[in-house]
Amino acid sequence: MQFKRLFAVGAIQSAIICALPALFAPMANAASLTGTITTENGAPVMGAMLTVFNEAGNRKETVYTGADGSYAIHTDFGGKLNVRARLANFEDTTTTVQLAADQVSTVNLTVKHFASAQARSDALTASAHTAKLPWASAEQRTPFVSQCNYCHQVGNALTRSARSEDAWTQTLDRMQGYFAMLSKGEAKTFANVLARGFDGKPVDTVLDYGVTPELTHAKVEQWLVGDAMTFIHDTDVGEDQKLYGTDEGHDVVWVLDRKTGKIDSYPEPDINLPAGGMFAGMTLPIGIFTGKHGPHSMAQGKDGRIWITNALSSTLASFDPATKAFKLYPVPGDVLYPHTIRMDQDGIVWFTNVVSNQVARFDPKTEKFTVIRLPSNGLVRWVTDMLLPTIMHVANWFPHKNLPLDISTHKFLGHDVLNFPYGIDVDPKDGSIWYAKLYVNKIGRIDPKTLQVTEYDTPMKGPRRPRFDRNGILWIPAFDESGLMRFDPERKTFESYKLPVLADGEYEVPYALNVHPVTGDIWITANASDRILRFIPSTKRFISYPSPTRVTVLRDLVFTKDGRVCNSTSNLPAYGTEDGLDSFMCFDPDGGDKDKAAILAAKGK
């Protein structure tokens, strides 16, 4: 009996040891780095980022140091590798190591204080720089947060260069051609504040990431993709566990096989539209939106096809991951900018149409669309919603002249003249469809059978991309107010939470969130400060994970079966990011621990 038990335990241990190489199969030639990161006076630092770049410079992996300053990273990179230690408020330290397969090397690094105030300021997050903008009031800042952080960070190295008020006016004019909805008065105020605030003088702020023990267990992986003009709007994980990214700038779908690191791209079929599609009358981000379709958001159906909203061509596309074949479905009516897409339990495709204030329903079996016009919320918005598709259509007769800016009512009233139904999700309890209206601060419910619509005011401004948890609670990021909202559809009650910021006066711009299907934790993008946040509902606690990449702007978050939280870095433009390219990025909350276990197992062998 005793022998049998011992045999059983031994067998299990052997199985684990034998299984470990299989667990890390892609790391067949895996090497490891261990060591410590300390400050100049030898003090160990917790939460410092140790990043290893592969030899080609198109992949990087990052772990965080523990309380004793130690780190351990297991990687399949080999050759001459760059290694970097990064800690908030300290200067980066880099070194190069030659790493052979199966080699374990020790690299100890020291981070030093910055040599100058300017160098220290240059390393700060965008949030630290925008916090210094001299707004007369919080109300004055709100439309700036909404409109100027809409697609990209403001306050990073690319966007905070010192300019005159006239130069800022020209920049803001250009941004309006990219669909920033500024009234004339707002544009004038913004130009003045930006000219005074971004004066090139160093900013003196100490960033506090609120390092928690959870950070020391995590690992971040990045795969750089495309070129400097790539714009991977959303990432989805397929049933095959590959990552799919829609490149709105180039009309392609990128596919990453995380096991092999291989990245492929598949172009969408051509369409009889000019570059810019239905938005050819606007200037659009020239050199970035060179496509006609503008693939935006994705959802995979039960038959394996991935459904894609084509924002610029107002079409729905299906992509078959097996055959790599696309099929296009023009959305009928005056639909503009098909946006976030989700599948319901019956395999029906639902998506918002941002600019034309609609939600569309598509049945893949019958290939029939139903377009639902959402409540207008006032006469001015009704006029704007009804006229905007026509104005865009007329503008297309005069390409790239920005004609809509010469007629749109937003020039008088700002972005408040529109509804902008943005994110959408399906209630797992009753199958109802819920959407968030970004500009009118409402969420709405669509009965999937009757298509009856009911809207509710949100307590915080800027509801953007909401998601349901498995209990039927809707979690909503409040983009304009650095917040997180919890909505109970049964009780019709809200709870609001302020997101943690890195220093006084900062704001956060949570673009999207997702709820982990197993833990129920809420993962939130924090795009002003290069972080991803994790909210634990049971304890109402936030955990902050700093990104190893400066200018990290994340959008939809997805979960892989192996426990990773993945997304794409998609700042506009890609060349504004620290790496100069977009990337697929995966956070593994337990990835650091997995690496430590793998290194131990390797040593045991």
| Binding of residue 374 to other proteins (CB under 8 A) | no
Q: Taking the complex as a whole, how short is the minimal distance between the CB of residue 167 and other proteins, in angstroms?
A: 22
| Binding of residue 380 to other proteins (CB under 8 A) | no
| Residue among 308, 297, 435 nearest 362 (CA) | 308
Q: Taking the complex as a whole, how short is the minimal distance between the CB of residue 336 and other proteins, in angstroms?
A: 10
Q: Which residue has the tokens 């529109």?
A: 418
CA distance 516 to 518: 6
Q: Taking the complex as a whole, how short is the minimal distance between the CB of residue 378 and other proteins, in angstroms?
A: 16
Q: Taking the complex as a whole, how short is the minimal distance between the CB of residue 177 and other proteins, in angstroms?
A: 14
* Own/partner long-range contacts of 469-472 (Cβ < 8 Å, ≥24 apart): 469/515, 469/520, 469/522, 469/537, 470/428, 470/515, 470/517, 470/520, 471/429, 471/520, 472/427, 472/428, 472/429, 472/430
Q: Residue 279 gets which letter from DSSP?
A: G
Of residues 407, 429, 541, 600, which one binds other proteins by CB under 8 A?
Answer: 407
Helix (H) or strand (E) holding 514: strand 513-515
Per CB under 8 A, which region of 231-239, 290-298, 386-394, 553-561 contacts other proteins?
Answer: 386-394
Measured from the Cβ of residue 57, the count of other Cβ atoms closer than 10 Å reads 11
CA distance 156 to 153: 6
| Binding of residue 386 to other proteins (CB under 8 A) | yes
Nearer to other proteins, 184 or 259 (CB): 184
Per CB under 8 A, which region of 204-212, 224-232, 345-353, 399-407 contacts other proteins?
Answer: 399-407
* β-bridge partners, 522: 515, 535
Nearer to other proteins, 114 or 329 (CB): 329
Q: Taking the complex as a whole, how short is the minimal distance between the CB of residue 64 and other proteins, in angstroms?
A: 50
Per CB under 8 A, which region of 268-276, 407-415, 450-458, 580-588 contacts other proteins?
Answer: 407-415
Nearer to other proteins, 395 or 532 (CB): 395
Site for other proteins, residues 525 to 584, rule: CB under 8 A: none
Q: Taking the complex as a whole, how short is the minimal distance between the CB of residue 419 and other proteins, in angstroms?
A: 16
Per CB under 8 A, which region of 50-58, 147-155, 385-393, 522-530 contacts other proteins?
Answer: 385-393
| Binding of residue 184 to other proteins (CB under 8 A) | yes
Q: Taking the complex as a whole, how short is the minimal distance between the CB of residue 329 and other proteins, in angstroms?
A: 17
CA distance 111 to 90: 6
CA distance 290 to 26: 36
Per CB under 8 A, which region of 141-149, 305-313, 384-392, 449-457 contacts other proteins?
Answer: 384-392
Q: Taking the complex as a whole, how short is the minimal distance between the CB of residue 382 and other proteins, in angstroms?
A: 10
**C-alpha distances in Å from residue 546, one per residue of 199, 209, 588:** 27, 7, 13
Helix (H) or strand (E) holding 332: none
Q: Taking the complex as a whole, how short is the minimal distance between the CB of residue 409 and other proteins, in angstroms?
A: 8
Of residues 305, 381, 411, 464, which one binds other proteins by CB under 8 A?
Answer: 411
Site for other proteins, residues 281 to 340, rule: CB under 8 A: 332-334
Nearer to other proteins, 99 or 335 (CB): 335
Asked whether the beta carbons of 49 and 87 are under 8 A apart, the reply is: yes
Of residues 405, 501, 533, 598, which one binds other proteins by CB under 8 A?
Answer: 405
CA distance 292 to 284: 12
Q: Taking the complex as a whole, how short is the minimal distance between the CB of residue 369 and other proteins, in angstroms?
A: 11
| Binding of residue 397 to other proteins (CB under 8 A) | yes
Q: Taking the complex as a whole, how short is the minimal distance between the CB of residue 331 and other proteins, in angstroms?
A: 12
| Binding of residue 387 to other proteins (CB under 8 A) | yes
Nearer to other proteins, 54 or 356 (CB): 356
**Alpha carbon of residue 436 to chain centroid:** 17
The count of chain residues that interact with other proteins, using the rule CB under 8 A, is 22
Asked whether the beta carbons of 59 and 51 are under 8 A apart, the reply is: no
Nearer to other proteins, 195 or 387 (CB): 387
Of residues 97, 207, 394, 453, which one binds other proteins by CB under 8 A?
Answer: 394
Helix (H) or strand (E) holding 140: helix 138-148
| Binding of residue 415 to other proteins (CB under 8 A) | no
DSSP assignments along 518-553, one per residue: TT-PEEEEETTTTEEEEEETTTTEEEEEE-SSSS--
End-to-end, the C-alpha distance of the chain in Å comes to 29
Give the 3-state DSSP-derived string for 336-394, with helices as H, strands as E and coil as C.
CCEEEEEECCCCCEEEEECCCCEEEEEECCCCEEEEEECCCCCHHHHHHHHHHHHHHHH
Asked whether the beta carbons of 192 and 199 are under 8 A apart, the reply is: no
Q: Taking the complex as a whole, how short is the minimal distance between the CB of residue 337 and other proteins, in angstroms?
A: 14
Nearer to other proteins, 306 or 331 (CB): 331
Amino acid at 293: H
Nearer to other proteins, 342 or 415 (CB): 415
| Binding of residue 398 to other proteins (CB under 8 A) | no
CA distance 331 to 350: 12
Nearer to other proteins, 413 or 597 (CB): 413
CB within 8 A of 73, min separation 6: which ones?
Answer: 32, 33, 34, 50, 52, 61, 62, 63, 219, 592, 595
| Binding of residue 412 to other proteins (CB under 8 A) | yes
Residues of this chain that interact with other proteins (CB under 8 A) are: 183-184, 332-334, 371, 386-387, 389-391, 393-394, 397, 403, 405-409, 411-412
